[in-house]
Amino acid sequence: MELVTRMQEHDYEQIVVCQDRQSGLKAIIVIHDTTLGPALGGTRMWKYASEADAFEDALRLARGMTYKNAAAGLELGGGKTVIIGDPRTDKNEEMFRVFGRYVQGLSGRYITAEDVGTTVEDMDLVYEETEYVAGVSPQFGSSGNPSPVTAYGVYVGMKAAAKEAFGTEDLSGKVVAVQGVGSVAYHLCRYLHAEGASLVVTDIQEEAVRRAVEEFGAAAVDVDEIYGVKCDIFAPCALGAVLNDGTVPRLQASVIAGAANNQLKDEVHGSLLHERGILYVPDYVINAGGVINIAEEFKGYNRERAMKKVEKIYQNVAQVIEIAKRDRLPTFKAADSMAEERIRRKRLSKKAYLPNGRDRLSRRVH
């Protein structure tokens, strides 16, 4: 990978490669854009096939966070961390403490949080070394696990998409195929089940599938079968690039709305969905509930206020759909246009976020 050339392609600001042989830490911190404010993005831990795959994921995720935060109306830029390793076997306390010291060294240009493969408990260890971490345990003045809030945002965004596709936001009786039933998707299934939707689920973890079947009466299918399920809504809630040459032709859904990041393998796949008449809700618009929730920590966290702001995802999804119809664009391009316009306006007055001694997360007591 020609890394600097790749950075120039989408105007990335900074990449920090971190390693600690004793703890086994191998991490890549990517700061994409701080025009709107400090870069906020979680830390993902995954057993990547290669270092090149880890860099690719970190770059895509960081850029996605810029667009997510911009589209959500937050005064935050975009960044992301990936830690190379198996989250089930390779974690240790020192790994996250060392990582926290690397984050502290960025002096507030980057704020981290949990993501796939990391937990609130992991972030508590990071917090031992830096204040620039969100989503830690509530006893530290934080909001805790953001997954239920992310799920709520996906749920209300899905209702906005249903209003466009089916003429009603009522999801009772609708068949929703959920790919991946992890922390976020479990809570999404809970909302959908309570409204009377029928669920079809899959996951690489058998226990996650079993729980959804037992608690929500879901039907289970094999991992590869989920793409061909006849359903009203397909909800990708696992990893990225699941909408690709091999899967798009198989889809039998009217709407795609899910929690996973970077669902489109390439832009062409968003265009293919548009041509097929499938309403794709851009992932970074609908799954922004977690970052909206975390952003509230910086003001002194109030759960009721945070949930009210997450409900605005309904309007954000509706706005993207209206832009797409008005300008005759695929929805992913309409969402990009909405986010880029906000960044462009801000860029007229400043470029990079440069922290100063007064910048602190509000929960930290000095």
Given 26, 80, 91, 159, the catalytic residue: 80
What is the spatial distance between Cα 181 and Cα 178, in angstroms, rounded to a whole number? Answer: 7
What is the spatial distance between Cα 288 and Cα 212, in angstroms, rounded to a whole number? Answer: 24
H/E element, 272: helix 267-276
> What is the tally of helices (H) and strands (E) in the chain?
13, 12
- Are 242 and 263 spatial neighbours (Cβ–Cβ below 8 Å)? yes
Catalytic annotation present for 312? no
3-class secondary structure, 90: coil
Residues 6+ away with beta carbon under 8 Å from 32: 10, 11, 12, 13, 39, 59, 62, 63, 65, 66, 77, 78, 79, 80
What is the spatial distance between Cα 190 and Cα 154, in angstroms, rounded to a whole number? Answer: 12
List the Cα angle 191/193/197 in 5-degree steps.
110
What is the spatial distance between Cα 177 and Cα 174, in angstroms, rounded to a whole number? Answer: 10
Residues 6+ away with beta carbon under 8 Å from 129: 97, 98, 99, 100, 101, 103, 104
Q: How far is CA 49 from the centre of its chain?
A: 22
The distance in angstroms from the start CA to the end CA of the chain is 43
- Can you tell me which residue has the tokens 């937990």? 119
Q: Which two tokens stand for residue 90?
A: 């390779």
Q: Under the phi-then-psi rule, with left for phi > 0, alpha for psi from -120 to 50, and beta for the rest, what region is 263?
A: alpha
What is the spatial distance between Cα 267 and Cα 271, in angstroms, rounded to a whole number? Answer: 7
H/E element, 144: none
- Tell me which amino acid residue 327 is: D
- Active-site residues: which are they? 80
